[in-house]
Homo-oligomer: A and B are copies of this chain.
Protein backbone atom coordinates (compact mmCIF):
# COMPACT_ATOMS: atom_id res chain seq x y z
CA UNK A 1 0.00 0.00 0.00
CA UNK A 2 1.28 3.42 -0.93
CA UNK A 3 0.77 6.33 1.40
CA UNK A 4 1.42 9.98 0.55
CA UNK A 5 3.08 12.06 3.26
CA UNK A 6 2.77 15.83 2.85
CA UNK A 7 4.46 18.52 4.91
CA UNK A 8 3.50 22.16 5.04
CA UNK A 9 5.76 23.16 2.15
CA UNK A 10 4.27 20.39 -0.01
CA UNK A 11 0.76 21.55 0.82
CA UNK A 12 1.60 25.11 -0.23
CA UNK A 13 2.62 23.76 -3.64
CA UNK A 14 -0.52 21.73 -4.27
CA UNK A 15 -3.37 23.70 -2.69
CA UNK A 16 -4.77 26.88 -4.14
CA UNK A 17 -7.41 28.85 -2.32
CA UNK A 18 -9.87 28.89 -5.20
CA UNK A 19 -10.14 25.12 -5.33
CA UNK A 20 -10.30 24.84 -1.53
CA UNK A 21 -13.25 27.27 -1.56
CA UNK A 22 -14.98 25.12 -4.19
CA UNK A 23 -14.33 21.99 -2.13
CA UNK A 24 -15.70 23.53 1.06
CA UNK A 25 -18.82 24.72 -0.76
CA UNK A 26 -19.37 21.26 -2.22
CA UNK A 27 -18.96 19.49 1.12
CA UNK A 28 -21.39 21.87 2.88
CA UNK A 29 -23.88 20.89 0.18
CA UNK A 30 -23.20 17.17 0.68
CA UNK A 31 -23.85 17.61 4.40
CA UNK A 32 -27.21 19.23 3.65
CA UNK A 33 -28.10 16.27 1.43
CA UNK A 34 -27.27 13.80 4.19
CA UNK A 35 -24.24 12.36 2.38
CA UNK A 36 -21.84 12.99 5.26
CA UNK A 37 -21.14 11.76 8.79
CA UNK A 38 -19.72 13.92 11.57
CA UNK A 39 -18.37 11.75 14.40
CA UNK A 40 -18.10 12.82 18.04
CA UNK A 41 -15.41 15.33 18.95
CA UNK A 42 -12.78 14.16 21.45
CA UNK A 43 -11.00 16.94 23.32
CA UNK A 44 -8.59 17.11 26.24
CA UNK A 45 -6.86 19.78 28.27
CA UNK A 46 -3.27 19.10 29.30
CA UNK A 47 -3.26 20.79 32.69
CA UNK A 48 0.49 20.92 33.28
CA UNK A 49 1.22 22.21 29.76
CA UNK A 50 -1.82 24.59 29.73
CA UNK A 51 -2.53 23.15 26.30
CA UNK A 52 -5.43 21.53 24.46
CA UNK A 53 -5.87 18.91 21.79
CA UNK A 54 -8.89 17.90 19.80
CA UNK A 55 -9.68 14.99 17.53
CA UNK A 56 -12.23 15.53 14.77
CA UNK A 57 -13.39 12.84 12.39
CA UNK A 58 -16.07 12.16 9.84
CA UNK A 59 -16.89 10.87 6.38
CA UNK A 60 -18.33 11.80 3.03
CA UNK A 61 -20.38 8.95 1.67
CA UNK A 62 -21.68 10.27 -1.62
CA UNK A 63 -20.19 9.56 -5.02
CA UNK A 64 -16.78 9.75 -3.31
CA UNK A 65 -16.43 7.63 -0.17
CA UNK A 66 -13.77 8.92 2.20
CA UNK A 67 -13.19 9.23 5.92
CA UNK A 68 -10.87 11.47 7.83
CA UNK A 69 -9.24 11.89 11.20
CA UNK A 70 -7.52 15.03 12.46
CA UNK A 71 -5.56 15.62 15.65
CA UNK A 72 -4.92 19.30 16.32
CA UNK A 73 -2.68 20.39 19.19
CA UNK A 74 -2.61 23.92 20.60
CA UNK A 75 0.35 24.42 22.95
CA UNK A 76 0.64 28.19 23.63
CA UNK A 77 3.87 27.85 25.63
CA UNK A 78 5.65 26.60 22.51
CA UNK A 79 5.93 30.27 21.54
CA UNK A 80 8.48 30.80 24.32
CA UNK A 81 10.42 27.79 23.03
CA UNK A 82 10.43 29.04 19.45
CA UNK A 83 8.43 26.10 18.09
CA UNK A 84 4.99 26.13 16.43
CA UNK A 85 2.00 26.53 18.72
CA UNK A 86 -0.56 24.88 16.44
CA UNK A 87 0.46 21.51 15.08
CA UNK A 88 -1.29 18.33 14.15
CA UNK A 89 -1.79 15.62 11.61
CA UNK A 90 -4.58 14.79 9.21
CA UNK A 91 -5.18 11.29 7.80
CA UNK A 92 -7.44 10.49 4.86
CA UNK A 93 -8.85 7.00 4.24
CA UNK A 94 -10.72 5.38 1.36
CA UNK A 95 -14.09 4.31 2.79
CA UNK A 96 -14.59 1.68 0.09
CA UNK A 97 -11.62 -0.31 1.43
CA UNK A 98 -10.48 1.37 4.65
CA UNK A 99 -7.01 1.82 3.16
CA UNK A 100 -5.08 4.94 4.19
CA UNK A 101 -4.50 7.38 1.32
CA UNK A 102 -2.32 9.97 2.97
CA UNK A 103 -1.14 11.80 6.07
CA UNK A 104 -0.28 15.47 6.20
CA UNK A 105 0.37 18.50 8.35
CA UNK A 106 -3.00 19.56 9.74
CA UNK A 107 -2.30 23.17 10.65
CA UNK A 108 -1.97 24.46 7.07
CA UNK A 109 -5.02 22.46 5.95
CA UNK A 110 -6.97 23.93 8.88
CA UNK A 111 -5.93 27.46 7.93
CA UNK A 112 -6.95 27.00 4.29
CA UNK A 113 -10.30 25.37 4.94
CA UNK A 114 -11.20 27.84 7.70
CA UNK A 115 -10.42 30.75 5.39
CA UNK A 116 -12.58 29.13 2.76
CA UNK A 117 -15.44 28.60 5.24
CA UNK A 118 -15.60 32.30 6.13
CA UNK A 119 -15.55 33.31 2.47
CA UNK A 120 -18.18 30.74 1.43
CA UNK A 121 -20.50 32.06 4.14
CA UNK A 122 -19.91 35.62 2.92
CA UNK A 123 -20.28 34.87 -0.78
CA UNK A 124 -23.52 32.95 -0.20
CA UNK A 125 -25.14 35.35 2.28
CA UNK A 126 -23.70 38.84 1.75
CA UNK A 127 -25.24 41.41 -0.61
CA UNK A 128 -24.01 40.85 -4.15
CA UNK A 129 -22.93 44.51 -4.35
CA UNK A 130 -20.69 44.25 -1.25
CA UNK A 131 -17.44 46.17 -1.70
CA UNK A 132 -16.10 46.75 1.83
CA UNK A 133 -14.87 44.08 4.27
CA UNK A 134 -13.68 44.36 7.87
CA UNK A 135 -11.62 41.50 9.29
CA UNK A 136 -11.51 41.54 13.09
CA UNK A 137 -8.31 39.81 14.11
CA UNK A 138 -4.81 40.11 12.71
CA UNK A 139 -3.29 36.81 13.76
CA UNK A 140 -2.44 33.53 12.08
CA UNK A 141 -5.91 32.93 10.67
CA UNK A 142 -6.73 36.42 9.32
CA UNK A 143 -4.54 36.09 6.22
CA UNK A 144 -6.38 32.90 5.17
CA UNK A 145 -9.72 34.71 5.51
CA UNK A 146 -8.55 37.61 3.39
CA UNK A 147 -7.09 35.31 0.74
CA UNK A 148 -10.33 33.35 0.50
CA UNK A 149 -12.54 36.45 0.25
CA UNK A 150 -10.25 37.98 -2.35
CA UNK A 151 -10.64 35.04 -4.72
CA UNK A 152 -14.34 34.47 -3.95
CA UNK A 153 -15.74 38.01 -3.94
CA UNK A 154 -13.89 40.04 -6.58
CA UNK A 155 -16.09 43.09 -5.93
CA UNK A 156 -14.51 43.61 -2.51
CA UNK A 157 -12.15 46.53 -3.07
CA UNK A 158 -11.55 47.77 0.49
CA UNK A 159 -10.40 45.57 3.38
CA UNK A 160 -10.09 46.99 6.90
CA UNK A 161 -7.93 45.02 9.33
CA UNK A 162 -8.70 45.44 13.03
CA UNK A 163 -6.58 44.36 15.98
CA UNK A 164 -8.14 45.88 19.08
CA UNK A 165 -5.37 44.57 21.35
CA UNK A 166 -2.43 45.77 19.26
CA UNK A 167 -2.91 48.78 17.01
CA UNK A 168 0.73 48.56 15.91
CA UNK A 169 0.18 45.03 14.65
CA UNK A 170 -3.00 46.21 12.89
CA UNK A 171 -0.97 48.73 10.90
CA UNK A 172 1.83 46.30 10.08
CA UNK A 173 -0.57 43.57 9.06
CA UNK A 174 -2.53 45.87 6.74
CA UNK A 175 0.69 47.19 5.24
CA UNK A 176 1.90 43.69 4.37
CA UNK A 177 -1.40 42.23 3.14
CA UNK A 178 -0.95 42.72 -0.59
CA UNK A 179 2.58 41.35 -0.55
CA UNK A 180 1.63 38.39 1.65
CA UNK A 181 -1.30 37.48 -0.60
CA UNK A 182 1.15 37.36 -3.49
CA UNK A 183 3.94 35.43 -1.80
CA UNK A 184 1.91 33.08 0.38
CA UNK A 185 -1.10 32.43 -1.86
CA UNK A 186 -0.11 33.58 -5.34
CA UNK A 187 -3.03 36.02 -5.32
CA UNK A 188 -2.80 39.34 -7.14
CA UNK A 189 -4.79 41.94 -5.21
CA UNK A 190 -3.37 45.06 -6.84
CA UNK A 191 -6.82 46.69 -7.05
CA UNK A 192 -7.74 46.11 -3.39
CA UNK A 193 -6.97 48.65 -0.64
CA UNK A 194 -5.83 47.09 2.65
CA UNK A 195 -6.20 49.55 5.51
CA UNK A 196 -5.77 49.50 9.28
CA UNK A 197 -9.23 49.94 10.78
CA UNK A 198 -8.15 52.65 13.20
CA UNK A 199 -11.62 53.08 14.71
CA UNK A 200 -13.29 49.67 14.63
CA UNK A 201 -16.70 51.33 15.00
CA UNK A 202 -16.15 53.39 11.85
CA UNK A 203 -14.75 50.48 9.87
CA UNK A 204 -17.73 48.25 10.75
CA UNK A 205 -20.15 51.07 9.93
CA UNK A 206 -18.56 51.34 6.48
CA UNK A 207 -18.52 47.58 5.85
CA UNK A 208 -20.81 45.28 3.90
CA UNK A 209 -19.09 42.17 5.21
CA UNK A 210 -17.46 41.50 8.60
CA UNK A 211 -15.37 38.44 9.38
CA UNK A 212 -14.33 37.79 12.99
CA UNK A 213 -11.31 35.61 13.77
CA UNK A 214 -10.16 36.31 17.32
CA UNK A 215 -10.18 34.12 20.45
CA UNK A 216 -12.24 36.78 22.27
CA UNK A 217 -14.44 35.91 25.23
CA UNK A 218 -16.49 39.12 25.19
CA UNK A 219 -18.24 41.04 22.40
CA UNK A 220 -15.94 43.38 20.48
CA UNK A 221 -18.33 44.57 17.74
CA UNK A 222 -21.43 46.45 18.95
CA UNK A 223 -24.86 46.42 17.36
CA UNK A 224 -25.14 50.21 17.07
CA UNK A 225 -22.20 50.31 14.64
CA UNK A 226 -23.78 47.92 12.16
CA UNK A 227 -25.58 49.20 9.05
CA UNK A 228 -28.56 47.37 7.49
CA UNK A 229 -27.59 44.70 4.99
CA UNK A 230 -24.31 43.74 6.70
CA UNK A 231 -23.15 40.14 6.65
CA UNK A 232 -21.12 38.54 9.48
CA UNK A 233 -19.01 35.40 9.17
CA UNK A 234 -18.14 34.46 12.76
CA UNK A 235 -15.13 32.16 12.78
CA UNK A 236 -13.28 32.70 16.06
CA UNK A 237 -15.79 31.30 18.53
CA UNK A 238 -15.30 27.55 18.61
CA UNK A 239 -15.57 26.66 22.26
CA UNK A 240 -17.88 27.40 25.15
CA UNK A 241 -17.64 30.97 26.40
CA UNK A 242 -16.05 32.49 23.29
CA UNK A 243 -17.86 35.39 21.58
CA UNK A 244 -16.86 38.27 19.32
CA UNK A 245 -20.02 40.15 18.40
CA UNK A 246 -22.78 41.77 20.46
CA UNK A 247 -25.54 39.20 21.07
CA UNK A 248 -28.00 41.97 20.13
CA UNK A 249 -26.79 41.68 16.51
CA UNK A 250 -28.51 38.28 16.47
CA UNK A 251 -31.91 39.81 17.26
CA UNK A 252 -33.81 39.94 13.94
CA UNK A 253 -30.73 38.76 12.01
CA UNK A 254 -30.99 35.76 9.67
CA UNK A 255 -28.70 33.24 11.34
CA UNK A 256 -27.09 30.19 9.70
CA UNK A 257 -24.67 27.56 11.06
CA UNK A 258 -22.10 25.19 9.61
CA UNK A 259 -23.50 22.55 11.99
CA UNK A 260 -26.50 23.71 13.98
CA UNK A 261 -26.04 21.62 17.13
CA UNK A 262 -22.30 22.26 17.30
CA UNK A 263 -22.80 26.02 16.88
CA UNK A 264 -25.41 26.13 19.65
CA UNK A 265 -22.96 24.28 21.88
CA UNK A 266 -19.70 26.11 21.16
CA UNK A 267 -20.18 28.73 18.43
CA UNK A 268 -20.85 32.47 18.30
CA UNK A 269 -24.57 31.72 18.75
CA UNK A 270 -23.99 29.85 22.02
CA UNK A 271 -24.38 32.92 24.23
CA UNK A 272 -27.28 34.57 22.31
CA UNK A 273 -29.18 31.27 22.55
CA UNK A 274 -28.30 30.67 26.22
CA UNK A 275 -29.22 34.21 27.18
CA UNK A 276 -32.50 34.03 25.23
CA UNK A 277 -31.74 36.83 22.73
CA UNK A 278 -32.68 34.25 20.10
CA UNK A 279 -34.20 30.79 20.43
CA UNK A 280 -33.04 27.60 18.72
CA UNK A 281 -35.98 27.97 16.35
CA UNK A 282 -34.75 31.38 15.19
CA UNK A 283 -31.76 29.70 13.55
CA UNK A 284 -32.68 29.41 9.88
CA UNK A 285 -30.61 26.31 9.20
CA UNK A 286 -27.23 25.30 7.88
CA UNK A 287 -25.20 27.02 5.18
CA UNK A 288 -25.27 23.83 3.10
CA UNK A 289 -29.06 24.03 2.92
CA UNK A 290 -28.78 27.52 1.43
CA UNK A 291 -26.16 26.28 -1.05
CA UNK A 292 -28.39 23.41 -2.21
CA UNK A 293 -31.49 25.66 -2.34
CA UNK A 294 -33.30 23.72 0.39
CA UNK A 295 -33.79 26.95 2.36
CA UNK A 296 -33.63 30.64 1.55
CA UNK A 297 -30.60 32.75 2.42
CA UNK A 298 -30.71 36.52 2.12
CA UNK A 299 -33.90 37.83 0.48
CA UNK A 300 -33.33 41.59 0.53
CA UNK A 301 -30.59 44.20 0.87
CA UNK A 302 -31.55 45.33 4.38
CA UNK A 303 -31.25 42.07 6.27
CA UNK A 304 -28.40 41.38 8.66
CA UNK A 305 -27.08 37.88 7.97
CA UNK A 306 -24.84 35.84 10.27
CA UNK A 307 -22.90 32.71 9.39
CA UNK A 308 -21.54 30.90 12.45
CA UNK A 309 -18.74 28.43 11.62
CA UNK A 310 -17.28 26.17 14.28
CA UNK A 311 -15.31 23.88 11.98
CA UNK A 312 -16.01 20.41 10.63
CA UNK A 313 -13.63 17.55 9.87
CA UNK A 314 -15.49 17.31 6.55
CA UNK A 315 -13.78 20.51 5.44
CA UNK A 316 -10.40 19.03 6.31
CA UNK A 317 -11.38 15.89 4.44
CA UNK A 318 -12.18 17.62 1.19
CA UNK A 319 -9.14 19.88 1.47
CA UNK A 320 -6.85 16.97 2.32
CA UNK A 321 -8.19 14.97 -0.62
CA UNK A 322 -7.52 17.86 -2.99
CA UNK A 323 -3.96 18.07 -1.64
CA UNK A 324 -3.44 14.35 -2.21
CA UNK A 325 -4.80 14.48 -5.75
CA UNK A 326 -2.54 17.42 -6.51
CA UNK A 327 0.47 15.72 -4.94
CA UNK A 328 0.04 12.55 -7.03
CA UNK A 329 -0.46 14.62 -10.17
CA UNK A 330 2.60 16.79 -9.57
CA UNK A 331 4.68 14.07 -7.90
CA UNK A 332 5.10 16.07 -4.71
CA UNK A 333 5.74 14.77 -1.19
CA UNK A 334 7.07 11.46 0.08
CA UNK A 335 5.47 8.16 -0.86
CA UNK A 336 5.75 5.56 1.89
CA UNK A 337 5.19 1.83 1.51
CA UNK A 338 2.95 1.14 4.44
Q: Which residues of A are in contact with B by a Cβ distance under 8 Å?
A: 1, 3, 5, 7-9, 37, 39-40, 42, 44, 46, 48-49, 51, 53, 55, 57, 59, 61, 65, 67, 69, 71, 73-75, 78, 81, 83-84, 87-89, 91, 93, 95-100, 103-105, 333-334, 336-338
In the complex the two chains form, is B105's CB within 8 Å of A87's CB?
no
Chain B residues with CB under 8 A of A103: 5, 89, 91, 103
In the complex the two chains form, is B7's CB within 8 Å of A336's CB?
yes
Known contacts A55-B55, A73-B98; 19 further A-B pairs (Cβ under 8 A)? A1-B84, A3-B5, A5-B103, A5-B338, A7-B338, A8-B338, A37-B44, A39-B42, A40-B40, A42-B55, A44-B59, A49-B95, A73-B99, A78-B98, A81-B97, A84-B99, A89-B338, A91-B103, A334-B334
In the complex the two chains form, is A53's CB within 8 Å of B98's CB?
yes
Chain B residues with CB under 8 A of A91: 71, 89, 91, 103
Min CB distance A123 to B, Å, is 32
Chain B residues with CB under 8 A of A89: 91, 100, 103, 338
In the complex the two chains form, is A7's CB within 8 Å of B97's CB?
no
Min CB distance A323 to B, Å, is 13
In the complex the two chains form, is B87's CB within 8 Å of A69's CB?
no
Task: Using known A-B contacts A44-B39, A51-B98, A103-B89, determine if residue A7 contacts B337 with beta carbons closer than 8 Å.
Answer: yes
**How far does the alpha carbon of A37 sit from the alpha carbon of B48 in the complex, in Å?**
14
**How far does the alpha carbon of A99 sit from the alpha carbon of B75 in the complex, in Å?**
9
Closest 10 CB pairs of A and B: A73-B98, A75-B98, A7-B338, A5-B336, A7-B337, A69-B71, A39-B42, A89-B100, A103-B103, A105-B338
Which residue in chain B gives the minimum CB-CB distance to A105? B338
In the complex the two chains form, is A334's CB within 8 Å of B5's CB?
yes
In the complex the two chains form, is B37's CB within 8 Å of A40's CB?
no
In the complex the two chains form, is A97's CB within 8 Å of B78's CB?
yes
Min CB distance A229 to B, Å, is 42
Out of B9, B78, B95, B100, name the residue touching A46 (CB < 8 Å).
Answer: B95
Chain B residues with CB under 8 A of A104: 338
Chain B residues with CB under 8 A of A49: 65, 95-96
